Amino acid sequence: MSADVQATKPAVAEQPPATFGSDLPAWPQIDFSEFGEVETRPLSRIQKLTAQYMSRNWVMIPHVTHNDDADITALEASRKARNAAGEATKLTLLPYLIKAVVEALKQFPQFNASLDGSGKNLVLKKYFNIGVAVDTRFGLLVPVLRDCDRKSIAELAAELQAISTKARDKGLSMAEMSGGCFTISSLGSFGGTGFTPIVNAPEVAILGVTRAQEKPRRGEGDAIDWRQVLPLSLSYDHRVINGADAARFTAKLAELLADPGALED
């Protein structure tokens, strides 16, 4: 290096620290009607609130999404047999997912936790309240089902049906959406093969599920064994949860979902 170049290069300690993210450009102010016909619709109150919380969570939480598959062939057989035998409330996949999540949370307590307001302590919860994302005309609502560890699949199915019907018909109170430990977002009835759900802070993880598909597995003597496979997408707060734990948690969920007998009452 020449003496000239060395003289103009500041010492590392003298350089001001970069402030990435704090110097974002303003939101573009564009008159779209200059380019073609448009219609302007105001966002609902719920949509505005959701936008604020989603933006905060996406910007403040370092997200990672871990993807895995669960073999739900036995679960689907059991669920359909129970429905055919005449359950009071039709059983969908969700109550089984809630039971599997509760069991996995018991085995991985760092997933049933929140950072406190200072960000310096992890608060571990001893209760199991699960939020479920529900698509309504008001926007996205997340009712929280309380004490899911003490409820059967049938009880969870009945509660889920009642609260999601209320959410769709009348909306929900803040109390009905508070106190959650972990959220499930099921897009299975719509389709998809995977997505990145946004963590519902101050929770530290969220499970997304998409459409179960038939997939071939090598059976005995190279026979093809068709399995029902459910895609799992677990997003987590990487400040609290590391990748190895996320992989273990998701594999545990898959293991639990493969054995419905252990989840049923």
Q: 3-class SS at 18?
A: coil
- 240 in contact with ligand CAO (CB under 6 A): no
Nearer to ligand CAO, 83 or 110 (CB): 83
206, 230 in Cβ contact below 8 A? Answer: no
235, 208 in Cβ contact below 8 A? Answer: yes
Helix, strand, coil in percent for the chain, rounding step 5: 40, 20, 40
Beta partners for 218?
Answer: 224
Shortest Å distance, C-beta 189 to ligand CAO: 3
- 132 in contact with ligand CAO (CB under 6 A): yes
Among 69, 92, 110, 138, binds ligand CAO (CB under 6 A): 92
In this structure, the number of other CB atoms found within 10 A of the CB of residue 203 comes to 22
Shortest Å distance, C-beta 254 to ligand CAO: 14
Stretch that binds ligand CAO, among 60-68, 121-129, 130-138, 148-156 (CB under 6 A): 130-138
Q: 3-class SS at 214?
A: strand
Nearer to ligand CAO, 93 or 113 (CB): 93
Tokens of 66: 């871990």
- 256 in contact with ligand CAO (CB under 6 A): no
Among 164, 233, 235, 250, binds ligand CAO (CB under 6 A): 164
Nearer to ligand CAO, 75 or 241 (CB): 75
Distances (CA, A) of 32 to 28, 40, 42, 47, 197: 11, 10, 16, 22, 30
Shortest Å distance, C-beta 252 to ligand CAO: 19
In the complex, the residues that contact ligand CAO under the rule CB under 6 A are: 92-94, 132-135, 140, 164, 185-189, 197, 209, 211-212, 230
The catalytic residues are 238
